[in-house]
A and B are shown apart, each in its own frame.
Chain A
């Protein structure tokens, strides 16, 4: 009963490098999300997906890309990392319907130096 699994847990990148944050869920949820959490700023939505093959931008999509080739996986790609992307990244998923809350992963702490 893994829920939402994120890898890696920690990562240090140099400016200009690229990386992919992995997210997998085993609950057969249609909806998946990527948020970033900055101190005192709450969570900001980066991208989301309502099902395999369908993705859409959130509030802060610049500098990121996503894909959703399967129901289970929703990787987040950072191209040309910048110090402003230093943050904690959370992946989450949910079923359809307004009554359901999200299930969150444990997060990836990314530092860009």
Chain B
């Protein structure tokens, strides 16, 4: 079956530090990959996506590259801000299963301090 593994949190960084949140996946087909962000008390919001190998998704200074050879989709940002504090979820959608269902990782909490 499909699965997504994310690095454990919480991750605590100082403002302007470099961020990496690791994500690896297992899928039966050729999945699309997503990063979602959840701010306190809110639902999940789509942050970025990639639909095929070597695609790079980017948004708001965050980026992630779909690496088929390492089955990874690591999230990076060059300089984090306090406002980036949130929980980040990696997810995949395998088009072979029907229903366009997403499989989520367990989430990684990011705390950015001044």
Contact = CB atoms under 8 A, between A and B. Distances in A.
B102 A102 contact: yes
B44 A102 contact: yes
Interface of B: 31-32, 34, 36, 41-46, 49, 51, 89, 93, 95, 98-102, 104-107
Main SS of the interface on chain B? loop
Interface of A: 4, 31, 33, 35, 40-43, 45, 48, 50, 56, 58, 90, 92, 94, 96-107
Contact of B89 (A43, A96, A98, A105): A43
The 9 closest A-B pairs by CB, nearest first: A104-B43, A101-B46, A42-B106, A98-B95, A43-B104, A98-B32, A42-B104, A104-B44, A106-B43
A42 B44 contact: no
Contacts, number: 60
Contacts of A35: 104
22 contacts: A35-B104, A40-B106, A43-B44, A48-B99, A48-B101, A50-B100, A90-B43, A90-B44, A92-B43, A92-B44, A96-B100, A97-B100, A98-B51, A98-B100, A100-B100, A101-B49, A102-B44, A102-B46, A102-B102, A104-B45, A105-B43, A106-B42
